[in-house]
Amino acid sequence: MSRLEALSDLAVAMREARLISGRSWLSIARELLRLRNSGGMLGLSDYFQYRLYEPLPFGGHKVDFAGWRMEGWLDERLNGRMWRGIIEDKCVFHAICVLQGIPVPRVLGLFHPAGRRLGNVPVLRHTQDVEHFLREAISYPFFSKPVFGVSGGGAAAVDSIDRTRDELVLASGQQVSVSAFADSLSRSSPGATPALGWLFQERLQQHELIAAVCGETVATLRFIVLLDDHGPELFRVVWRIPTGANMTDNFGRHGRTGNLAARVSLESGEIERVIAGVGAAMTTHSTHPDTGARLLGWQLPLFREACDLVLLASALIPMFRFQHWDVAITRNGPVIVECNSPGGIELPQIASGQGLYDARLRKFVERHGRAS
């Protein structure tokens, strides 16, 4: 983005902020400058994205909001680099969870050109192997994702195979030929590193009560855990809610996917706020746009069991003090989907209307953070 484009975007954001808040540009500018110096690395785009020109919906302090630059800063100071591979490599992560008895999705196959193995899972080395696997061996429905990927990049939920047309039927309703799908695993795509392989997993069956509210596409809980010397502590939780034809619940950068995000009470699992989009385009919702089911005030089933599972799993990575876990609540109970490094700080702040870098996290960083 050029400097001229950035200035134009800033002017638009300022105009929208004035219209929404009824405040003068001078009042907004003064607050923005004050918050930029509050220690949370808050930038201009962060201020407008979080709508900090308005009163906070649940009270609290605006100085607690962290800018996008702080995501990497927190990860570097709180998480040991030597442990990162355990999280980023989904094969390693899966193997450790299985060994420790942590429930994770069952792996049906692994595509890896170099022939990497994962227990007794079928290994597919060539595109032709993938095609045969999809036509003759795999159980439908399934979910595929890169061994190393971020933000849902390259992930696909497949419902079935149309054998007459030799096409896969995706959860979005689209159809793609078996050969095209297999070929895509060897091509670069945003958020995916094809050379490191792809996992084929069972499609988790969402808990019946959750499916009735938001459909069959799995809606995961994103837990943030602080791993202190005396043990793990739950810090924040957000519920990611898929909408429309989206095959994942990923909120996306600036909420571009159209999915919803919800603030969840850590004490009860009750939904306290639901939003879509960010900044001036942010909207709040009380019901699901597709099903019409009530979201606000609804209580997630098996929420306490999900909390207990996250606390149990967090001890698997002892030198990772700032952990971000994705958990699905299925018909068979909570299941760990993955752990993330670094975990996004945009989503929990947007969904909750509450800053992440509060007094509790600041003190935690003081105790455990490494110098840059």
pLDDT tens-digit map of 16-45: 999 999 999 999 999 999 999 988 999 999
pLDDT tens-digit map of 277-325: 999 999 999 999 999 999 999 999 999 999 999 999 999 898 899 999 9
Grouping H, G, I as helix, E, B as strand and the rest as coil, residue 198 is: strand
Q: Would you state the structure tokens that stand for residue 257, as one six-digit string?
A: 């996917």
Residues 133 and 186 in one domain: yes
Residues 246 and 296 in one domain: yes
Percentage of the chain beyond pLDDT 70 is: 97
Residues 140 and 286 in one domain: no
pLDDT tens-digit map of 51-100: 999 999 999 999 999 999 999 999 999 998 888 888 889 999 999 999 99
pLDDT tens-digit map of 133-153: 999 999 999 999 999 877 667
Q: Would you state the structure tokens that stand for residue 113, as one six-digit string?
A: 């050109």
Q: Is residue 97 part of a domain?
A: no
Helical (H) or strand (E) element with 241: strand 231-241
| pLDDT of 330 strictly over 70 | yes
The dihedral built from the CA positions of residue 324, 87, 208 and 278, taken in this order, carries a sign that is: positive
Residues 189 and 237 in one domain: no
Residues 223 and 82 in one domain: yes
- Angle ∠(348,352,356) on CA atoms, nearest 5: 55
| pLDDT of 196 strictly over 60 | yes
> 149 lies in which domain range?
106-202
| pLDDT of 1 strictly over 70 | no
pLDDT for residue 122: 95
Burial 80-113 (b: 16+ CB within 10 A, else e): eeeebebbbebbebbbbbeeeebbbbebbbbbbb
Residues 320 and 361 in one domain: yes
Residue 353: name the closest of 255, 254, 278, 281 by CA: 278
77: amino acid identity, one letter: R
The C-alpha atoms of residue 206 and residue 37 are separated, in whole angstroms, by 44
The C-alpha atoms of residue 49 and residue 17 are separated, in whole angstroms, by 10
Residue 102: name the closest of 86, 116, 117 by CA: 86
Q: Is residue 96 part of a domain?
A: no
pLDDT for residue 248: 85
pLDDT for residue 29: 94
- Angle ∠(98,104,107) on CA atoms, nearest 5: 85
pLDDT for residue 149: 74
pLDDT for residue 371: 61
The C-alpha atoms of residue 336 and residue 326 are separated, in whole angstroms, by 6
For residues 335-344, average pLDDT: 90
| pLDDT of 361 strictly over 80 | yes
| pLDDT of 194 strictly over 80 | no
Higher pLDDT, 6 or 336: 336
Angle between helices 69-78 and 359-368 (to 10 degrees): 40
Helix extents (H) in 79-177? 84-88, 90-99, 127-132
Facing residues of 336 across strands?
A: 327
- Angle ∠(53,67,349) on CA atoms, nearest 5: 70
Name the DSSP class of 294.
B
The C-alpha atoms of residue 165 and residue 338 are separated, in whole angstroms, by 34
pLDDT for residue 195: 75
Residues 216 and 263 in one domain: yes
Residues 237 and 302 in one domain: yes
Helix extents (H) in the chain? 3-21, 25-36, 44-49, 69-78, 84-88, 90-99, 127-132, 178-184, 208-214, 303-314, 346-352, 359-368
pLDDT tens-digit map of 116-138: 999 999 999 999 999 999 999 99
The C-alpha atoms of residue 192 and residue 352 are separated, in whole angstroms, by 29
Residues 244 and 324 in one domain: yes
Q: How confident is the model at residue 191 (pLDDT cuts 50, 70, 90)?
A: low
Of 202, 230, 253, which residue constitutes the final position of a domain? 202
Residues 46 and 158 in one domain: no
The C-alpha atoms of residue 155 and residue 29 are separated, in whole angstroms, by 41
Domain tally for the chain? 3
pLDDT for residue 98: 96
For residues 333-357, average pLDDT: 94
What's the whole-model pTM score? 0.92
- Phi-psi region at 297: left, alpha or beta (left = phi > 0; alpha = psi -120 to 50): left
For residues 165-193, average pLDDT: 88
Burial 290-329 (b: 16+ CB within 10 A, else e): eeeeebeebebbbbeebbebbbebbebbeebbbbbbbbbb
Residues 197 and 213 in one domain: no
Q: Is residue 100 part of a domain?
A: no
